[in-house]
Amino acid sequence: MESHSFSIFVILLISAMSAPKLIFGLTPCEFPAIFNFGDSNSDTGGLSAAFGQASPPAGETYFHTPAGRYSDGRLVIDFIAESVGLPYLSAYLDSVGSNFTHGANFATAGSTIRPQNTTLSQSGFSPFSLNVQYYQFHDFHQRSQVARTRGEVFQKLLPKAEDFSRALYALDIGQNDLTAGYFLNMSTDQVRAYIPDVLGQFSTIIKYIYDQGGRSFWIHNTGPVGCLPYILDRLLVRAPEVDKAGCATPYNEVAQYFNIKLKETVVQLRNQLPLAAITYVDVYSVKYSLISQATKHGFKHSLSACCGHGGKYNYNRNVGCGGKVSMHGKQILLGRSCNDPSVWINWDGVHYTEAANKWVFQQIVDGSFSDPPIPLKFACHRR
């Protein structure tokens, strides 16, 4: 009997040691709202509201219609909202049918941390850089409380004053700052050289949000951009620079350098913002694992786009997902969706499918890839 009891004790001890740390004795957070900042990885309708809806077949898997997301369905931010018991975030820029009671999404596809000196039509990068997203948040914070004093519908559609300090502030941005340099024909050394400035601007925005009462931050690092079709197709990649997964090593190495510096920035912010709980989430490792071991994780296609047309990766920058061409006076759809997006990782050459987004979320929600290693539901606690 004693031997049996000891065995049970050892099993329980091993289980406890293998679980995410730092959660014992903590009370789960009750986030009344989420405020999200980012690019297309978490845009739930911002760019669509400003410049026109993402065209079909976007949204086909879950929403069954375009829903402002550059995917066939839900994004990681949607699964984050679900997991903390909140509805999907309305885009701040979307004035039709939006409900901001439980937060707002300031992310737009193509956004960068550092403002770009080009227009959307010239470069494809959004004018709503991170500093603009912060200006929008600041304005929303102030005006929402003035509007709530009018009562009735305004109180039902806008967050309470106290919700801003208790909310989760999620950020997933930086990928476009890297690709912007390459698309301007910069060298890798030149791109690396401006990363400290980019992260300096990122740090400033976090401090601004903190000054507005933000306390719980959930920060994603940037993913393996060298595994995305729009990079592999558009930028020069020599054979020796392709790894076993088929990804471009130089561009992934720059992303990893960005992430190292981002993590250093987070450490500095923790020292400077003593009341903030800042969680750094390594989505790079999760996404690279998914792409490099696609079959192991239940996917059949790792690099090619589910929705697109032509080329080695079913990607054509001139005829994208949902793209049409005019032939004999008729519009012909070329950018078609694949038959089963659930076994594809990449949706349109740039973004992930709902299935891939869900898989990524399932890996990060328990804190296994976080620093500190704390689950999402405890992310309001400082460590």
Q: Find out whether 365 and 78 touch, Cβ atoms under 8 Å.
A: no
Q: Find out whether 225 and 284 touch, Cβ atoms under 8 Å.
A: no
d(CA 353, CA 342): 7
Query: Could you give the angle at the alpha carbon of 257 between the alpha carbons of 36 and 373, nearest 5°?
Result: 55
d(CA 96, CA 109): 19
**Helix (H), strand (E) at residue 331:** strand 330-333
348 in catalytic set: yes
At 298, which amino acid appears?
G
Q: Which of 43, 163, 282, 348 is catalytic?
A: 348
Q: Which of 43, 90, 351, 370 is catalytic?
A: 351
If we measure between CA atoms, which residue out of 380, 269, 383, 382 comes closest to residue 28?
380
Please report, for the chain, how many H helices and E strands are present, in that order.
Answer: 13, 10
- Show the DSSP H helices in the chain as ranges: 2-18, 46-51, 76-83, 120-123, 130-148, 153-157, 163-166, 175-183, 188-211, 229-234, 249-272, 283-292, 354-364
At 299, which amino acid appears?
F
The dihedrals phi and psi of 259, each to the nearest 5 degrees, come to -70, -35
Q: Which of 39, 40, 144, 285 is catalytic?
A: 40
d(CA 12, CA 9): 5
40 in catalytic set: yes
d(CA 58, CA 75): 12
Query: What contacts 24+ positions apart, CB below 8 Å, involve 81-88?
Result: 81/34, 83/361, 83/365, 83/376, 83/377, 84/29, 84/31, 84/34, 84/168, 84/376, 84/377, 86/31, 86/33, 86/34, 88/44
Strands of the sheet with 34-38, listed across from one edge: 103-105, 34-38, 168-172, 216-220, 277-281, 370-371
Which residues have CB under 8 Å from 34's CB, separation 6+? Answer: 77, 80, 81, 84, 86, 89, 102, 103, 167, 168, 169, 170
64 in catalytic set: no
Residues carrying an active site annotation: 40, 348, 351
